Structure 1
Amino acid sequence: MSHGKYSSIRLTLFKHGGDSFLAALDEAKIPHGPIRMFTSRPQASGIVETITALSEAMPWNAIAKIIVAWIDARKSREVMIYTESGEVIHAKGYSATEIQKILPISTNIVIIDTKSSGD
């Protein structure tokens, strides 16, 4: 989601996707950090991370390439991009160029791998 001087991408990582996706960000030297959420209501179990940078410094292209490569590495992986208008885009089958265009209008990106790396 873009806000003029800075941009932020919220990542929600479920199942077995967390470690491998965050490792891909680390390998690309894209800084990210956890979001700590406190609530009295039940929450889905997942890790929430964020990538924040000055708008002109946000690595949209690199993040899009990581998403495509990460999905393509295993059939059990899925990435869903939620946009500001409420649309949900399943990233499987999209090119990095297409995803790069969607990322600036995203509000949340859900990363799921239904199988562990040992399966």
Structure 2
Amino acid sequence: MSTETHTSVRLTLFKHSAGSFLAALDEAQIPHGPIHMFSTTPQGSGLVEAITALSEAMPWNAIAKVAVAWIEARKSREIIIHTETGESIQAKGYSASEVQKLLQKSTNVIVIDTKPVDES
């Protein structure tokens, strides 16, 4: 029996963020996969992905760097990190090392781009 612990980062992608953010994760070689959710009641629309790894192997620094670079690339982008203490923190303006610390305490990360990629 293994005593290794798994860690995951849950990403909820809204509006036009899915293609560009998932491509940024792919470019950084950070594996991710969809979470399929089933419900009998209406749910908010958004694509849900997860990054899962053994706790010691979670690429926290790489994820934080991707998040900061993705936000800084366009003014229409935002990432909101929900923590286990119930806080909601907008990652815009934070450094990669600050975002890394927040991601380690996250319960959900909301990724939003309000404009399509082909719009300025």
TM-score of Structure 1 vs Structure 2, range by shorter chain: over 0.9
1:70 aligns to what? 70
Instruction: Report the TM-score when normalising by structure 2.
Output: 0.95
2:83 aligns to what? 83
2:44 aligns to what? 44
Q: How much does 1:118 deviate?
A: 1.3
Equivalences, count? 116
Mapped to 2, the partners of 1:114 and 1:96 lie a distance apart of 22
Classify the secondary structure of the residue corresponding to 2:14: strand
Mapped to 2, the partners of 1:6 and 1:105 lie a distance apart of 14
- Which 4+ stretches in 1 moved above 4 angstroms? none
2:37 alignment partner AA: M
Q: Which of the two has higher C-alpha Rg?
A: 2
1:34 aligns to what? 34
Mapped to 2, the partners of 1:75 and 1:5 lie a distance apart of 37
Classify the secondary structure of the residue corresponding to 1:82: strand
2:6 alignment partner AA: Y
Range that drifts further, 4-13 or 23-32 = 4-13
In the TM superposition, 1:1-119 aligns within 5 A as: 5-119=5-119
Identity of aligned residues (%): 68
Mapped to 2, the partners of 1:101 and 1:66 lie a distance apart of 14
Q: Which runs of 5+ in 1 are unaligned?
A: none
